[in-house]
């Protein structure tokens, strides 16, 4: 049972590292920068951390692609 807990913990750590790398890559992309410029009136976005901003960007991008 202990090895199962350790395995899940290390998997979570690896997932977190992957998400952090992906988030940084997205945040430095021209598409994300353009998205931030296009949403200047949404002052509430400035309150959000980078994690939340990237999630909102991805959600909006995927919704757009779905149409």
- pLDDT 10s digits, 4-53: 556 667 777 889 999 999 999 999 999 999 998 887 666 666 677 888 88
Query: Is-contact 51 23, C-beta < 8 A?
Result: yes
The answer to whether 45 and 56 have CB atoms below 8 angstroms apart is: yes
pTM of the model: 0.70
Q: Provide the H-helix boundaries in the chain.
A: 2-27, 30-38, 44-47, 50-66
Q: Which residues contact residue 57 at a Cβ distance below 8 angstroms, ignoring those fewer than 6 apart?
A: 26, 31, 32, 35
Residue 46 and residue 52 in contact, taking contact as beta carbons nearer than 8 Å? no
Whats the size of the chain, residue-wise? 67
What are the boundaries of each domain within the chain? 2-66
């Amino acid at each position: 049972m202990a090895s199962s807990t350790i395995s899940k913990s290390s998997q979570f750590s690896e997932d977190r590292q992957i998400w952090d790398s992906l988030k940084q890559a997205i945040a430095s992309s021209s598409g994300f920068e353009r998205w931030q410029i296009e949403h200047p009136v949404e002052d509430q976005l400035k309150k959000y951390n980078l994690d939340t901003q990237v999630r909102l960007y991805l959600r909006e991008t995927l919704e757009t692609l779905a149409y």
